[in-house]
Structure 1
Amino acid sequence: MHPPFPFPGEPAVGGPRAWHTLPDEVQLTLSREALRRAAETLADHAELLAAEMEAGGLLDQGGPEALRLFAAVVRVTNKDGFATVGNA
């Protein structure tokens, strides 16, 4: 039974204890989806920074193209590496 209040940083429902009760295949699937989403977030942020540099909001020292290259590498590297699943 869970305590009435979560430990610091633990959500009120589920949490680390619930994670360990999931089958290994489910943990793996959820982990892959989390990594895929993290990679896409990194790529999106790189694109936003590049656009901000081009718009003059940040000092441009060749950064936009480098960020776009980084975004492309992240997307290509992770495109086939992780299975896409439903709503994780």
Structure 2
Amino acid sequence: MQPNSRRLGEAPPVPSAWHDLPDDLQLTLSREALRRAAETLAEHAELLAAEMDGGTLLDQGGPEALRLFAAVVRATNRDGFATVGNA
């Protein structure tokens, strides 16, 4: 059997490398990765602000700046990237 041939009922082969994925799928996955990265940054900023509020980290005016940063990250990415499945 040739490498690209399939038996009846078999699932299509899964691309093994990023460049093998169709462009629209690459774009979709990239947008989801960016959305998740932005949310991770925002969550870390919120965590640091809470630690400063609790006195664990030295507060030099940082908690409100971190909350503002978190809000900006979330606001600028909320509508810019579509939510995609469970990738």
Normalised by the size of structure 1, how large is the TM-score?
0.80
5+ residue gaps, structure 1? 1-13
Which residue of 2 is the match for residue 79 of structure 1?
A: 78
Normalised by the size of structure 2, how large is the TM-score?
0.81
Task: Measure the CA separation in 1 of the matches of 2:17 and 2:65.
Answer: 41
Listed one character per residue, the Cα deviations across residues 22-55 of structure 1 (whole Å, up to 9, x for unaligned) are 0000000000000000000000000000000000
Which residue of 1 is the match for residue 31 of structure 2?
A: 32
Task: Measure the CA separation in 2 of the matches of 1:83 and 1:21.
Answer: 22
Larger radius of gyration: 2
**Consecutive aligned runs of 4 or more in structure 1 exceeding 3 Å deviation:** none
Q: Which amino acid counterpart does residue 80 of structure 1 have in structure 2?
A: D
What count of residue pairs does the alignment treat as equivalent?
75
Task: Measure the CA separation in 1 of the matches of 2:32 and 2:20.
Answer: 19
5+ residue gaps, structure 2? 1-13
Task: Measure the CA separation in 2 of the matches of 1:34 and 1:72.
Answer: 19
Percent identical across equivalent pairs? 84
